[in-house]
């Protein structure tokens, strides 16, 4: 039996979302076509837009559909920088946290390398928190085109004070973007209450399909397209709209939001039991990021991130996989890259510490049996990993 503990990478589709996807996929019609089938597909898209907006505290006109989180992050960072720079060439700066997902990190580094953008990286504390004062200090000199700080970290689960950060950015007249991909499943994410100008969401983290997401963008947010074509989405995002995927996204989001409070408490209990059990094995394991039993305000309720001394994370992953437990060493988007996590290094961990990382994340299908399987396999896995590394 396989025990899946990698819901932060992707989570199984909800049955209702899968049903909607299959049913709509059987219907023909490009939402941009003017005939009957096209208008029917357009109606599906626009109804889904309204439902997604309502679930996230956004106006329907603020929902810009994309292919997922990576495209939305790129559109937010590059699109906002290009728009602001066009208005005022002196706006040549970008401020971002040092623990962003690579979908933000890499676009910022691209702008720095290709356009000479002045980048200020906000360094986290040991828990992974970004300080409001640090953002205020970074914005004080002026000349910043856009600032980006994620709502919740995809590796260590740290939750940021988004509303406070967005308020500081607004004081300085700087558009604020937040990547909320990991937050929506278990936190009360409301665009209208966040103060953000731009917010990234993705369907496959909440029980929807892979390949669809949205950038929630205020109507007055400065943003220009980074890819050109038909201009289907507010003239800032081109491409044929995936009516079936968008409908399934809406269905998954509504169901997730409706049951979020109950589900968050359930996975929180599983998370705490796993962490407490791992710490009690006498293997020298520590928890990265802030953690307190029962607390979901500073860390995602479904995230457990462990540091196992004397081990390589990849070895632990493969040995756990062989034992029927599936987890990760960090972001799935960096899978197969044998280098320590930039998130852990930014938080002050050494390379040796960062290399022994394991991320275990819970979702709708997670059970007590998954925790039991992990804790049962872990001592033998750690022993073998240390022996293989010559460190036992």
Instruction: Take residue 359 and report the two structure tokens written for it.
Output: 């991320």
Compute the residue count for the chain.
Answer: 392
b/e burial code for range 129-165 (CB count within 10 A of at least 16 → b) = bbbeebbeebbeeeebbbbbbbbbbbbbbbbbbbeeb
- Cβ-in-10-Å burial (0-12, 13-18, 19+) of 30 comes to middle
Rg of the chain taking only CA atoms, in angstroms: 21
- The residues near 77 (Cβ < 8 Å, ≥ 6 apart) are 94, 96, 104, 107, 108, 111, 146, 148, 177
* Residues 370, 324: Cα–Cα separation, whole Å: 10
Does 333 participate in catalysis according to the annotation? yes
Distances (CA, A) of 325 to 6, 19, 133, 313, 389: 9, 28, 41, 14, 21
Catalytic residue among 127, 311, 327, 333: 333
Alpha helix positions (H), the chain: 15-25, 36-56, 69-87, 102-115, 132-139, 162-171, 191-194, 243-258, 260-279, 313-322, 342-346, 351-355, 368-388
**Within 10 Å of residue 391's Cβ, how many Cβ atoms?**
11
* Residues 236, 227: Cα–Cα separation, whole Å: 8
Residue showing tokens 């928190």: 129
Catalytic residue IDs: 333
């Amino acid at each position: 039996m396989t025990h899946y503990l990698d819901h932060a990478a992707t989570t199984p589709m909800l049955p209702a979302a899968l049903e909607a996807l299959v049913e709509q996929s059987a219907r023909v019609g490009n939402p941009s076509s003017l005939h009957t089938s096209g208008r029917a597909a357009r109606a599906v898209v626009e109804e889904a837009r309204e439902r997604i907006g309502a679930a996230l505290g956004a106006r329907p006109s603020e929902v810009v559909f994309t292919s997922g989180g990576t495209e939305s992050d790129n559109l937010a960072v590059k699109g906002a920088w290009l728009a602001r720079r066009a208005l005022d060439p002196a706006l040549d700066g970008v401020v971002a946290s040092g623990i962003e997902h690579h979908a933000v990190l890499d676009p910022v580094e691209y702008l720095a390398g290709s356009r000479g953008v002045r980048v200020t990286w906000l360094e986290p504390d040991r828990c992974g928190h970004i300080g409001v004062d640090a953002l205020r200090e970074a914005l004080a000199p002026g000349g910043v085109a856009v600032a980006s700080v994620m709502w919740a970290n995809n590796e260590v689960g740290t939750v940021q004070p988004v509303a406070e950060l967005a308020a500081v950015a607004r004081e300085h007249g700087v558009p604020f973007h937040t990547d909320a991909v990991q937050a929506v499943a278990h936190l009360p994410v409301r665009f209208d209450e966040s103060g953000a100008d731009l917010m990234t969401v993705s369907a496959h983290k909440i029980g929807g399909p892979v390949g669809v997401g949205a950038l929630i963008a205020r109507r007055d947010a400065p943003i220009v397209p980074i890819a050109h074509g038909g201009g289907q989405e507010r003239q800032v995002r081109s491409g044929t709209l995936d009516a079936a995927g968008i409908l399934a996204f809406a269905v998954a989001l509504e169901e997730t939001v409706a049951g979020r409070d109950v589900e968050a408490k359930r996975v929180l209990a599983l998370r705490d039991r796993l962490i407490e059990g791992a710490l009690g094995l006498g293997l020298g394991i520590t928890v990265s990021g802030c953690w307190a039993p029962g607390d979901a305000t500073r860390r995602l309720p479904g995230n457990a991130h462990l540091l196992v001394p004397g081990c390589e994370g990849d070895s632990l992953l493969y040995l756990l996989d062989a034992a029927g437990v599936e987890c990760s060493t960090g972001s799935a988007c960096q899978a197969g890259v044998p280098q320590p996590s930039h998130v852990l290094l930014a938080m002050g961990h050494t390379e040796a510490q960062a290399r022994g990382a394991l991320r275990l994340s819970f979702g709708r299908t997670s059970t007590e049996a998954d925790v039991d399987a992990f804790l049962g396999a872990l001592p033998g896995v750690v022993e073998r990993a240390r022996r293989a590394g010559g460190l036992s």
